[in-house]
Structure 1
Amino acid sequence: MRRWPEALLHALADRVGEHALSRPNARYGGTGHYLAGLTSTLLPVQVRDAIASTLEPISCAAGTNPLGQIGMREATFLTGQEERKLAAARRAGHLRTRICLRWNRLLPTLDRQEVEWLADFLEHRLSAAKLSDKLHLPQYAVEQLVHAELLSVVDHPYVSAHYDTPQFHASEFARFAKRILDTGAPLASLIDPVPLHRVARSIGGGLKPWGRIFSELLEGRVLYSSAGASIDRIMISRADAAAMRRLEADRQHRLCRGATLSQRDAAEVLNLPLRHVKHLPGGPTSGGAHAIPWRRVRHLARSRVTLAELSALTGLHSTPLEARLEREGHFRRDVFGWPRRSVLQTVATWGTSTRDEIRRRKIGEDHAEGHHPRTRRTP
């Protein structure tokens, strides 16, 4: 009453939203059905005139809708969603309820602009898994990028209610990819460049700090060069790579007890080749994918170090690297590698000259056997 008569439409929409079924065979009442006395002949003339004037914008002929509204059937055609699904979302408040007045009957409709937005989103929707594929990142990294405010998740009530994982519009990926390309520097400006994906492989012991890594890059604290949005196309200087290995994931991104990782994410955390994920414990989910318990992955990450991680960390080829470790009394236990603490302590004592000597020895063995491998710019 304090906002009379404009609030009348809001009050009617709330009542219709609570009770209307949005079914083809539903019987809809008039305005008086939802707000008692609204059509009473006892109302003063000026009140009836105010009500009629307020209802005018939502009044329409059969087969039409008021400006800015859309019927359920057309909304179903635009979005590809089932009518009962849209109706349930409207009743739950996940979609805005609009109303129209036809032959003194109030019918529920939807907001046209909202439905058109939803149709566009559904056509260009990217799940967190799909976005991580495009960036060649693990899925948990996407959540870190969202927390670092580098990516914006779609938080519309309809989307939040119907999807269990973060959802994105394709334009958000395009914006993020453009920022990566625009912020990068020429490759010639880097000193002894190394690929970012190899730097990441040298980080172990738990979740990799992807949110902090990309914040360092995109906010200009670490110079990088990029030929694309994927981490496979990003290079940084070797000195910056050493500093990046000391970054840690923010505390809020350390997964909670009972959580699971996909096989791909578990392999990325452990720096384990995908062909070895079959050795990880876990079972298939309802979608058919295998889920690995986080507590098991965390235990392995903290206690073991793989050959791939050691190779990326030292810059040494796997064969001479493993031979050197065996000469120093460290033998690989299984596909998960060596005891982490003792091996990393040993590797830390290896100086640059020792690593260069191993490289020279490996090249000499290849030439002696008649092999002439290409010299790579970066290990």
Structure 2
Amino acid sequence: MSTKRPHRKSRFGCDQCRKRRVKCDEQQPRCAACTHRDEPCRFSRFPRAWRQDGTPSHSDSPPTEPQAETVCIPTSDASICAEPPTSHDMDISMLSCPGSSSSRFQELELMHYWCTRTSSSFSQENTMVFRDYVVQQALRFGFLMEALLAVTSVHLACEAKDANLAHAHVSAALQYQTKAMAGLRSTLSTLSPLNCDAVFVSSMLVMVCSIVSPLISTARIDSIKSTAEAILTLVDLVKGIRSIHHVGRAWLIEGPLRWFCGGVFDLPPISFSSPLGVLRDLNSAMSCDPVQHIFNHAIDELEQAHQSKKSVVPWLLAMKPAFLEELKKDNSVAVAIFMHWGVMLDQLDDMWWAKYAGRRLVEEMSTTLDSRGEEWRQLTAWCRTQVGLCQE
């Protein structure tokens, strides 16, 4: 009697394959069937337990019933049944240490705030990607969930009216961020199409936290850092994001995050030609090669970013390591270039974190440059006017 050939059931196939009742190879971000048919591929089923690297904790044995869970994320404003709590509505006593049993309600509130507010602050056209796809990925990859909770906590801190509450949110954000970084480090050595999206988004969210959190005014004087100190934490992180983007670009452009590889941002028609011309003149007068060449490259990239409207936020990724090192040294020309980037960030009205960070960067760096001589006053006055710190 012939034996029946074993058959492996596709338990966690994509929605399209399940709808067509065909077997799915479960490869992400796009299965072979959807790739062949050139159709969008979406997964809404996955095992209950996943490791940090995104693989099932018991990949060889099927889960007990129920075999899979479907996670539904609100996809329209009509499905939201309550207004998200604002930061000043929250009681500081409700904020607990992330990971403790008492933090469960707090993290549910953070997820609600992410879905209703924070997820729309990266790209209005791609809000659904952050509200739906990124959350699904976060349920698979623990480090992405930690990064998501971290940036949402920072968002609440920025909107907090009370300095003590802002400090509590920042403290929670830093704890989530630390866990996210630990998970990222353990996953980078196994970067693959399966986890590339989660790794890339996590690194971007951690970068947002690293830019904004040190700039938030809190009740703790010792917690306030200068912009220069904040930038120190970005150097290695930016290098890591550049590596992830370089290695995973071919995978990113095949999935929902393809717009990250060439997104266009709606910027107001501000003329950068005159201030950047003054900046080039100051660079020529105050810098020597090879630093002068490095700064000219940074200025050219900044001008190109504004003209093309494609690289405003990822401008840091295009910077040479030598420029970041000069920024660490508090070089005046490097500070002035970064101040102009702050102006461009401030123009991104849809992105709370960019506008907040841009205004703070301009405020602090213009004050620093004003103290270094009259030659900087023309540039600092222009930048402060653009972000609304002074009248024209």
Query: Structure 2-normalised TM-score?
Result: 0.28
Structure-1-length-normalised TM-score? 0.29
Give the greater-gyration-radius structure (CA): 1
The structure with the greater share of residues assigned to strand is 1
Name the one with the larger helix percent: 2
